[in-house]
Chains A and B, each alone.
Chain A
Amino acid sequence: MPNQPEANNWPRWFDPRSRSLGTFGFILNRVTALGLTLYLLMHLVALGQLAKGADAYDGFIALVKNPLFKLGELLVIAAGVIHGLNGIRIALNSFGIGVRRQRSTFIALMAVSVLVIAFFAYKMFSEG
């Protein structure tokens, strides 16, 4: 990878070695954004099944009841919660609010994310 700025240096975005908490926030936001975009595409494909008639749609619904898909749904919820809460921190910072407390805000918001994700996991997997 070249030392000077190059568009194809982007894999370095995901390398947290020797970096601080801020980079973890940056990486989390990128990964969750990519995950949510992928989900949106899959969602559109699923909706496309509606146009193929009732049987195709029912078959698709049976497939997504599989526990693996449930785990996928939980990942989507996790990505949404993390991206949303982290995004609020970044938006507030962009208005000059809480910039010098961004580290503690990040830790607090990620703690909230864990609680929310655990709540959804419990709801989804305990109710069968």
Chain B
Amino acid sequence: MHISHGPVGCGQYSWSQRRNYYIGKTGVDSFVTMQFTSDFQEKDIVFGGDKKLEKIIDEINVLFPLANGITVQSECPIGLIGDDIEAVSRKKNKETGKTIVPVRCEGFRGVSQSLGHHIANDSIRDWVFEKKQSDYEAGPYDVNVIGDYNIGGDAWSSRILLEEMGLNVVGNWSGDATLAEIERAPKAKLNLIHCYRSMNYICRHMEEKYGMPWEEYNFFGPTQIAAALRKIAAHFDDKIKEGAERVIAKYQPLVDEIIAKYKPRLEGKTVMLYVGGLRPRHVVNAYEDLGMIITGTGYEFGHGDDYQRTGHYVKGGTLIYDDVTGYELEKFIEKKRPDLVGSGIKEKYPVQKMGIPFRQMHSWDYSGPYHGYDGFAIFARDMDLAINNPVWDMFDAPWKKAA
């Protein structure tokens, strides 16, 4: 259970917006699509909120007895008024035996979500790992999937492939993850990391501390999927290597069908992307598998290593932009007039008003999954329906055209 600790706003605006799918009885044993907040009032700012936080944890224990753990996500005021959420967490953990994780993710730390990723990784390291005895012993094929948030079910359409090739996904972070999955992670054989940007820190930690290898992979589009399956299989014996080949062969007819159906409709269409984390570079090949051309790509909160990695993916002449303002982005788009733009909700409507098809590439525009072979079919369908909808041809009033 995650508490937005501070005033009501932050948690309200993010409530249920990320589409990390899960299955459970919401409010009873699962708490993803709920908004828990300490709803700070003036007196909490003036006198501090630690007492309130203690009370909140007590109330959670009464009303939500099946919650296995709590994270305390601090909003801006917490760091400024000097609350000690770590002390409260420690105390309440002693009292209740439940995992309680303070997360110092105040919005003014760093200039983007990126530092928040790092902070969250560290809080797992410091407050979850090695805190409980677990009797789990890894089998030879046990892996974790790290950095797949199960947006629209991405982690599920990925998991099915990994299982089909013979691996056991014993933990999936942090879409559709349970606390048990996170706790046992350091004992698995290999970390498979999808969103490198947000979760490389914890993988590096597990490597250093537990000698656990990690492998970055990309499940967007058949070219990358096949490469990824082979790269992953290379960590294992022939059984898994054969498994990977079997999976690739099994899905090849589907891939051929999808490309036969959609490539003629999408070939040569140009795309500009502006998204967070892994996506600018990861999805490039999925578009190229459909014959589309990336003419610009950029990061909302990229780091140096992102650009290095992007270089491997995109062709020469592609515009790469970093942390542009909405204004600059619009100018790029207006100038290049691509056939499709992929970005977030804030960009969606301005771009569409210019008559340019758009897909949200954080929430998959309420569609998905896009990962894996099943996801590629949906991705292709969605790009087609965005670009080839008749609405884009009706922007001009006929009398105006004639004039």
The yes or no verdict on A and B being binding partners is: no
